[in-house]
Amino acid sequence: MNPCIIPEVPIDIQGDNRWMSQHERHVSEAKEREPDVIMIGDSIIQKLQSSPIWNDLFEPLHCLNFGIGGDLTQGVLWRIQSGILDNIKPKACVLHVGTNNFGNTPDEISEGILTIIKEIKSKLPECYIILLDLLPRGARPNELRIRNSKVNEIIHEKVKSISRLEVITVNTGLLQSDDTLSAQDMLDYLHPTDSCYRKIFEPVHELLLQILGEAKDIDKEIIGTQ
Amino acid sequence: MNPCIIPEVPIDIQGDNRWMSQHERHVSEAKEREPDVIMIGDSIIQKLQSSPIWNDLFEPLHCLNFGIGGDLTQGVLWRIQSGILDNIKPKACVLHVGTNNFGNTPDEISEGILTIIKEIKSKLPECYIILLDLLPRGARPNELRIRNSKVNEIIHEKVKSISRLEVITVNTGLLQSDDTLSAQDMLDYLHPTDSCYRKIFEPVHELLLQILGEAKDIDKEIIGTQ
């Protein structure tokens, strides 16, 4: 059985229960607020909330951030089944997960991502999904970059037929001509800097504006015909 | 033998060589620039560079950031012996490390920190050291918080006789009356938010201004008497 598709609470190896504390906070935030947009995934999603672009562009869209650093596809699956999507009706969901599934193959990881998409669609059939390509990582070419590229290839092919879903290719322009990642873009060669977050997430914001605009038009039509 | 005091390159478990890439960049930055202040340690140090307070307060002090996410005392020791302190003469060094030494006891960790201090002093005898207390972690009370507190207690006692060194207690006011950490201060219950970085690092900035001011006065006196 592919471990990437089995919902699982990660073992609290460090011993301070931070993963579960964050999940519990997300569930209560979901109950208290009525997000129009949610973001789900790993630290790439989570750290966006600490970047200036969050307050500039995403906070005004009634956006909740359900990113947890280090999370795997199986962790996101568990969280989706355990309360973060209950009681809410977001119009769009942004997803980035899979880069932390170290022990897994591209096939396993992409199946994990597809299972998450199915799960979101089953809980929120009207919700539009924006899937982010896995980002490149490491200053120089390495196995994990190749693995992430393969996941992206597989995913692009497999999601073609899925409605209300768009993949955004975030890795274009991040690799330099010598295939290195710049510290200007990723200080630790994994997480985007503020300027890189802007480069990556401005297209996501554009797309969200479209989706929310269309959703508003539909709402108006429904009200108009009542 | 205490593992915390043995310089060591961490195993590249993830497989993208990010730790070494960051170290190599730090060494070349040290060669190229003439920092008056350096910061060494783990992600608490590293992420400060992504916070607005870095550009506001620390960049103007000619400060270089040698933080690497996840680093242990043994990693910092290895880096100190492998080039980051060569060719530079900073007037002050800020240190936070030890919270990632998961498998170790408070005694082992504090010995690791003390060994780092000795190593810095041996490489840079004139450099003033600002040691930050280990931050609390986890939303609720847990073993790692207790361990970090014990490290702080031991360190406070042991550094009393060391000259040109000051410990800054950064954890005051972070724990709420029910002993929880607020998401306002630490979104992931480990790394400070921007506002929390300001609260923690403004006193560090104040102290650095004093140290750099005194160093300037001494420089003037030397020039005056020549």
Look up residue B71 and give its DSSP letter: -
Question: Which among B22, B145, B187 has CB closest to A16?
Answer: B145
Whole-number Å distance between alpha carbons of A100 and A131: 16
The yes-or-no verdict on residue A121 having pLDDT over 80 is yes
Interface test with A, best of B18, B24, B27, B176 (most A CBs within 10 A): B18
pLDDT at B1: 92
B190 to chain A, minimum CA–CA distance in Å? 8
Chain B residues in contact with A48 by the CB 8 A cut-off are none
Alpha helices in chain A (DSSP H): 18-32, 43-48, 52-53, 73-80, 106-123, 143-158, 194-225
Confirm whether the ipTM is greater than 0.95: no
pTM of the predicted model, to two decimals?
0.93
- Inform me whether the pLDDT recorded for A226 exceeds 60: no
As a whole number, the mean pLDDT across chain A is 94
Closest by Cα among A122, A112, A132 to A40: A132
What value does the mean pLDDT take over residues A163-191? Answer: 92
A12 classed as catalytic: no
The DSSP string of B16-65 is S-HHHHHHHHHHHHHHHS--SEEEEESHHHHHHTTSHHIIIIIGGG-EEE
User: Can you give the pLDDT at residue A138?
Assistant: 97
The length of chain A in residues reads 226
Quickly tell me which residue has 């991502």 as its tokens.
Answer: A113
Query: In this structure, are residues B5 and B112 in contact, taking their beta carbons and an 8 Å threshold?
Result: yes
Residues B104, B108, B114, CA angle at the centre, nearest 5°? 135
Per CB-CB distance under 8 Å, the chain A contacts of B103 are none
A53 has a pLDDT exceeding 60: yes
B49 — contact with chain A (CB < 8 Å)?
A: yes
How far apart, in whole angstroms, are the C-alpha atoms of residue A84 and residue A80?
A: 6
High-pLDDT (> 90) share of chain A, % = 90
Quick one: A18-224 is in which CATH superfamily?
SGNH hydrolase (3.40.50.1110)
Q: Provide the phi-psi class of A83: left if phi over 0, else alpha when psi is between -120 and 50, else beta.
A: left
* Residue B221's pLDDT band (cuts 50, 70, 90): confident
Q: Is B22 near chain A, with CB under 8 Å?
A: yes
Could you give the CA distance from residue B134 to residue B148 in angstroms, rounded to a whole number? 6
Catalytic, A56? Answer: no
pLDDT tens digit sequence for A130-169: 999 999 999 999 999 999 999 999 999 999 999 999 999 8
Contact A145 B46 (CB under 8 A): no
Q: Does A33 touch chain B (CB under 8 A)?
A: no
User: A-B interface: how many C-beta pairs under 8 angstroms?
Assistant: 85
Give the tens place of pLDDT for each residue, B48-101.
Answer: 999 999 999 999 999 999 999 999 999 999 999 999 999 899 999 999 999 999
- Which residues of chain B does A189 touch, with a Cβ-Cβ cutoff of 8 Å? 16, 18, 21-22
**Over the stretch B60-73, which tens digit does the pLDDT of each residue have?**
999 999 999 999 99
Angle at A203 between CA A199 and CA A208, to 5 degrees: 140
Which pLDDT value is given to residue B224?
66
Residue A43 a catalytic site member: yes
Taking CA atoms, what residue in B is nearest to A103? B14
Catalytic residue selected from A188, A195, A217, A219: A188
